[in-house]
Amino acid sequence: MKITGYRSVMTVHDWGRVTGDVNGVQSGNTTPVPILILETDSGLEGIGLGAHPDVARVFPAVEGEDPRAVVALYDRMLDWVFKAGHAGSTFGTIGAIDMALWDLKAKAADEPLWRTLGARERFVPGYASGLEYGLTDDELADLYGRFADRGFKAGKLKGGRDLDRDLPRLEILREVLTRNSRHPALMFDANESWNHAQASRYISAIEERLDLTWVEEPLRRWDAAGMAALRGKVRAAIASGENLTGLEQYRPLLDANALDIVQVGNVWGITHFLRVATLAHGHDLPVSPVAFNANPIAHAAAAVPNLLTFEVQDLAFPVGLDVDQEFEDGGIVLGDRPGLGIVVDEARLAGAGSSLLPPATGPHVRPERAALRLVAEPDVIDNPTVTVRPIS
């Protein structure tokens, strides 16, 4: 079997709600979902999810190769771009190709990827994470109530700007999840919006009212010294790593004992996740993947010995994707369909396209005053009458 070509298509995920975090909220209810399809001379096709703007540059590294040599091809892709480096969008492209290669490898074996990777069972424990920063309190309760209906006992809240807003919402989350556990696990995600002093004060204030299982990305992703110091000041575990692109970026954090929970982004690919999980295991640390559409890394998460929990952001899938997964008992139940279990209905994708241009605002754009605010400043979520005065 040889790789002969690729197709790049687009769909959207319709959340039925706005999504976002302390850095911003999406302007609508849908987000783009780029899909990469690797073609082979056998007729099998591999599916990879995530942005892949550098595919024309990276694809020659795998063209004409047998996709079953996926680990060797992963390193070949890294070697292919070594002069310019593999971070950022290039790493995302490699991740999408890597997913498609693993999908092909398992399809060639006619078995689900979790089986190919050596998992003993198909269940992946998870936690609810609705990207809910833009929702009202009632909408928040309704959203996490739907997760609770599927047995979830843990949930994560976005916040970090206004303690008077965040504390009641954390209590709402706790109350909803107590239908499944007397002591549900509560996580809090600041999305790199604090400096060290802000993080210490904010987390300590929360911990006066309730227990946090972890606080996520309290500081910038590379701040090993800051997160190591913060670990000694708060009770909550420190989780980070979703935006790190390569083992070399994890090494300083692990060497500094800066993390309690090692996170990995789904969009960076399966081989990357497996290597980070092994690195974390060597430091006696658990690993927790950060979700993406259709949860492709769940297959690999089922196979590693140090999986803690898997983020689940929604209970539905993007337009035109038939995904062989169920959400039960507070986690993901993987199916038996070969490969990643994703079938793309390209006819349904027509008209569902969305621009690949990065948004001008929203959670993917760091606010100008992030980590530089002296006081909690209400934004349009808290007070719709607040306006930003232009500089004249």
Longest dimension (CA), the chain: 65
Place of tokens 């890294």: 78
Closest CA to 229 of 261, 259, 273, 192: 259
Place of tokens 């980590």: 371
Q: Tens digits of per-residue pLDDT, 126-155?
A: 999 999 999 999 999 999 999 999 999 999
Secondary structure class of 47 (helix, strand, coil): strand
Domain boundaries, the chain: 3-114, 118-344
- The mean pLDDT value for 333-352 works out to 90
The type of residue at 214 is W
Lowest mean pLDDT among 154-168, 209-223, 363-377: 363-377
8 A C-beta contact, residue 356 and residue 32: yes
8 A C-beta contact, residue 259 and residue 226: no
Residue 28 DSSP symbol: S
What CATH homologous superfamily does 118-344 map to?
A: Enolase-like C-terminal domain (3.20.20.120)
Q: How far apart are CA 59 and CA 94, in angstroms?
A: 9
Q: Kindly report the CATH number that applies to the domain delimited by 3-114.
A: 3.30.390.10
Phi, psi angles (nearest 5°) of residue 74: -60, -50
Q: How far apart are CA 8 and CA 24, in angstroms?
A: 28
**Which of the four pLDDT bands, split at 50, 70 and 90, describes residue 357?**
low
Place of tokens 């999504």: 19
Q: Tens digits of per-residue pLDDT, 153-210?
A: 999 999 999 999 999 999 999 999 999 999 999 999 999 999 999 999 999 999 999 9
Phi, psi angles (nearest 5°) of residue 91: -65, -35
Place of tokens 């850095």: 23
8 A C-beta contact, residue 49 and residue 293: yes
228 vs 364, higher pLDDT: 228
Quote the pLDDT of residue 167: 97
Place of tokens 């005065």: 389
DSSP count for the chain of H helices, then E strands = 12, 17
Q: Do domains 3-114 and 118-344 have the same CATH topology?
A: no
Q: How far apart are CA 47 and CA 35, in angstroms?
A: 7
